[in-house]
Amino acid sequence: MSGGISLDRKFRERWFMLLMGSFLVVYIIWPLAGMFFRADWGLVVSTSRDSVVVGALWRSIWTAAAATGIIAIFGTPLAYFLARQDFKGRSVLEAVIDVPIMVPHTVAGIAVLMAFSPKAPAGAMLVKAGLSPVNSHLGIILACMFVSIPFYVDAARDAFHGVSPRLENVSRTLGASFPHVFFRITLPLAKRGLVSGLIMSWARGVSEFGAIVIIAYHPMVAPTLIYDRFATFGLKYSTPIAVQLILVCLGMFVVLRVLVSGKRRDGAGS
């Protein structure tokens, strides 16, 4: 740490803040690191060949990605609207979007199950179309969507907010139509925030258990399988899957972060 001493004199208060705050950082790293050190790596390797485990991991990844894709299609316009338009009920609408963060995930699962059970109109329509919302991939995606929405929409709204409307205005007066401006000016400038929102939304979906387990215990996603193994065989047999899930998530997280931060030429004209 170069310059540590001068920092020490100048910002003694900050060192205190760091000291206090580092408790939380340790609190995150300690249990996860412990899991890695104490895991039976022989079992980790052997379970990674278990087709049930691989299937569950893969299912977690793609269902969360599908949910995030659907959220991006509808959430991007919503986020843009919220960033640009000032209106009376905006804070109410923003609060509604954040509700899934507040609701216990099992409650979210029950609500989604009731809305899409074959007896409810929406569920009946899906069944008629040959799609089963309960104990199916569709059910997993529906549950993931519900809990992931705020993570994408909030991040995207902030990203759009960071792009000056004046940049859009100027490009309009130079002859560009709205779609052209949106795809060539607004989206590229909001990209970092948007991708960050996608990662958050996807990560939320991968880690979801409570809502999914209610609407679709089967087919099992990774968190359900971990719980299932834990309940039937105990800690020893659930840990290897947990380690693998963390490795997959961290891997995706790091790769996407690096991809996005590779280009640092945006940041909106403010």
Partner 1 sequence: MIRLADLSIDLGEFVLDNFSLSVDKGEFFMVVGPSGAGKTVLLESIAGLRHPSGGRILIGGRDVTGLPPERRRVALVYQDYALFPHMTVEENIRWGLRFLRDPDPGHVEGLFRLLRLERLLERSPDTLSGGEQQRVALARALAVKPSVILLDEPISALDPRFREDLQDYLSRINREGMTIMMVTHDFNEVLSLGHRVAVIVEGSLQQVGDVKTVFREPANRLVAEFVGMKNLFPSSVKGRRACLEGGVSLVLNGQQRVGECLIGIRPEDVMIGGDLLEDTENVFSGRVVSIVPRGMAFEVVFQVEDLRLTGRMLSSALVREDVHPGGECRVGFCPEAIHVFKGDNPI
Footprint of partner 1 (CB under 8 A): 164, 166-167, 169-178, 185, 188-189, 265-269
Which of 36/178 has CB closer to partner 1? 178
Dist CA 140 CA 252 (whole Å): 20
Q: How far is the CB of 172 from partner 1 (least distance, A)?
A: 4
Which of 6/177 has CB closer to partner 1? 177
Which of 6/173 has CB closer to partner 1? 173
> Phi, psi (5° rounding) for residue 21?
-70, -30
Which of 106/169 has CB closer to partner 1? 169
Q: In 10 A of CB 202, how many CB atoms?
A: 27
Q: How far is the CB of 270 from partner 1 (least distance, A)?
A: 8
- Collapsed DSSP state (helix, strand, coil) of residue 208: coil
Q: How far is the CB of 189 from partner 1 (least distance, A)?
A: 6
Q: How far is the CB of 262 from partner 1 (least distance, A)?
A: 14
> Phi, psi (5° rounding) for residue 131?
-110, 135
Dist CA 142 CA 163 (whole Å): 31
Dist CA 178 CA 204 (whole Å): 33
